[in-house]
A and B are shown apart, each in its own frame.
Chain A
């Protein structure tokens, strides 16, 4: 790919991608922010993050509706759970309820019909969302030259009824061909110099993103046979996304100021904070 030096090229963080489909009102605002950038890019690591959040939660709900056949039952299960992604799950169920409640009251087994209709549209959505992330409606290119996440390349697969595991544990030689360890080792010093000053203390019970990134870096750089899995890659997600877009993108756009203010300059990108009115 030949890139004109003066052309502004935007790297979209996952937060921006999710907002594009979650909040259509924000999409207009985002398009205005993105208008100076003729090229918009994302990375395989961002797609991994998208799969781990949006696709994983929609697949979870799909499986729950198919298993329970009872809309109210699934609603209560999710409402009473203390899962980390409970707010997102409730957001999705609330949106679904606004639609499936249109099922006429005289329909027999209405509650079961509501669950079935929810599952049907979730199935449509899961396939669509993965395609959308890679489509030109979202970005012009998915960068995967340096890390090339294997999990990101795998589209959702439906078995007879349920969806296959969205993110199986990565194991080199079995189901992993990415270059994440090599990419981290190659940029070790740059990453340490950029983020060490902002990392929480090593013994902090709630380590921040920079500390988690340093932990992953230590693991890879002290052990030649280290074999990272997707959960560890997500801990170092912003750094990995920045590394993957290094020398391709000129600007990084995110709603996450805390991390990207530090990470973007590390790879000579200008950070553009996205703030909604």
Chain B
């Protein structure tokens, strides 16, 4: 690497056109400079121009003015979004829990349940935690509550699991394991949606759409 003084010298002498026969030599020099070798006193003016262009390439780029491009800012934003999503889910789940009478949900449970599902799907898009841990946590919860007739245990599960999740800074497998142990503690079924079709409201099928079906 050459220092700044050397660069200015190069600029001051760069107005001289090199002889065409020097060009190859000069390019050769610039290559050796790239490899970290010091420039010697026999350098031509084109050598120095080449050095200058290399020094431009090596100069650190200016920091982007856009604050959102800074990874640290993105982390802060994502963490805030994660905490906000947890808070919104907790408010809805608390509403359901407050309405429990004789271990049964109040009449208007569907509204809060739909809201919670929607918030959970929204949470899937937040980039926070190790790998896809947050998404897998959301899937664990959704596989218990989606397309289900909610009972008191579902509301308690969403509340307790979200409260537990919110306490983590970085989401990892540990948060998922804790979520699973909460659902097991509430006698919910981890096999639901995989091996088990327990408490499914609507059974869906994939049917090929052809012209006959459309007419019907």
Q: Residues of A at under 8 Å CB distance from B?
A: 18, 21-25, 54, 58, 72, 75, 91-92, 94-99, 101-104, 107, 116-117, 120-125, 128-129, 132, 137
Contacts and interface: CB of A to CB of B under 8 A. Distances in A.
Interface in B169-215: 176, 180, 184, 189-198, 200, 202-206
B204 A122 contact: no
Contact of B146 (A75, A99, A125): A99
Nearest to B179: A124
Interface stretch (B61-69, B101-109, B133-141, B154-162): B133-141
B206 A98 contact: no
A129 to B, nearest CB: 8
Contacts of A123: 136
B206 A128 contact: no
Contact of A92 (B124, B176, B194): B194
B186 to A, nearest CB: 14
Contacts of B132: 120
Nearest to A18: B195
A125 B189 contact: no
B139 A117 contact: yes
B6 interface: no
A120 B193 CA distance: 12
Given A120-B135, A124-B176, A102 B117 contact: yes
Contact of A125 (B194, B198, B203): B194
B139 A120 contact: yes
26 contacts: A21-B191, A22-B191, A22-B195, A23-B196, A24-B189, A24-B198, A25-B198, A54-B195, A58-B194, A75-B206, A94-B203, A98-B197, A99-B147, A101-B204, A102-B117, A104-B118, A107-B121, A116-B135, A121-B140, A121-B143, A122-B194, A124-B180, A125-B190, A125-B194, A129-B191, A132-B190
B142 interface: yes
A118 B188 CA distance: 19
Contacts of A22: 191, 195-196
Contacts, number: 90
A129 B121 CA distance: 25
Top 8 A-B pairs, shortest CB-CB distance: A102-B146, A120-B139, A99-B193, A21-B191, A121-B139, A24-B198, A120-B136, A22-B195
A116 B205 CA distance: 19
A21 B189 CA distance: 8
B121 A98 contact: no
A99 B180 contact: no
A102 B139 contact: no
Given A121-B139, A125-B190, A98 B198 contact: no
Nearest to A58: B194
Nearest to B187: A24
A101 B195 contact: no
A117 B191 CA distance: 15
A25 B143 CA distance: 18
A96 B193 contact: yes
A102 B142 contact: yes
B119 to A, nearest CB: 12
Nearest to A72: B206
Contacts of B117: 102
Contacts of B193: 95-96, 98-99, 121
Contacts of B118: 104
A128 to B, nearest CB: 5
Contacts of A128: 180, 190
Contacts of B196: 21-24, 95
Contact of B147 (A94, A102, A116): A102
